[in-house]
């Protein structure tokens, strides 16, 4: 006689309770990464703009309706002032990128650890 084996249903362990809410930690990390990446991008553009203004400073302002003609020294002084402002802008943009870039790298690594 052939023995009949009963098919034994394997018990599947209960699935881990799924989290249906928002993962706030990941949302925070990705939001900080996006914001810092944009800050680095815009400060890089501002740095390049400042470099262009430092290399090619705006000429001194000449009022065409004025009765007196500005002196060459006054125009050179104003051009020098414009160039100095460009260097200040470059410094500000560089320090902004220098601060935001490590924040981006840190938070991006945190997102990779949690994944």
Give pLDDT tens digits for 95-115.
999 999 999 999 999 999 876
Residue 102 within a domain? yes
Residue 88, domain member (yes or no): yes
Of 82, 90, 93, residue with least CA distance to 56 = 82
> Does any domain span residue 48?
yes
Residue pLDDT, tens place only, 31-55: 999 999 999 999 999 999 999 999 9
Residue 65 forms part of a structural domain: no
User: Total domain count for the chain?
Assistant: 1
Domain-embedded: residue 32:
no
- The per-residue pLDDT for 7 is 59
Specify if 23 maps to a domain.
no
Q: Is the pLDDT of residue 89 over 90?
A: yes
DSSP-derived secondary structure letter, 21: S
What does the radius of gyration of the chain's CA atoms come to, in whole angstroms? 32
Domain that holds residue 51: 37-58+71-114
Task: Tell me which residue of 63, 47, 66 sits closest to 55, measured CA to CA.
Answer: 47
Identify whether 81 is part of a domain. yes
Is 1 domain-assigned?
A: no
């Amino acid at each position: 006689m052939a023995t009949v084996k009963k098919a034994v249903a394997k018990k599947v362990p209960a699935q881990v309770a799924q989290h249906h809410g928002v993962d706030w930690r990941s949302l925070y990390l990705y939001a900080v990464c996006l914001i810092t990446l944009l800050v680095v991008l815009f400060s890089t553009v501002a740095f390049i703009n400042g470099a262009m203004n430092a290399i090619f400073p705006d000429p001194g302002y000449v009022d065409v309706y004025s009765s007196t003609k500005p002196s060459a020294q006054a125009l050179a002084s104003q051009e020098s002032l414009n160039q100095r402002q460009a260097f200040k802008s470059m410094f500000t943009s560089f320090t902004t990128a220098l601060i935001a870039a490590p924040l981006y790298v840190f938070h991006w690594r945190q997102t990779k650890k949690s994944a």
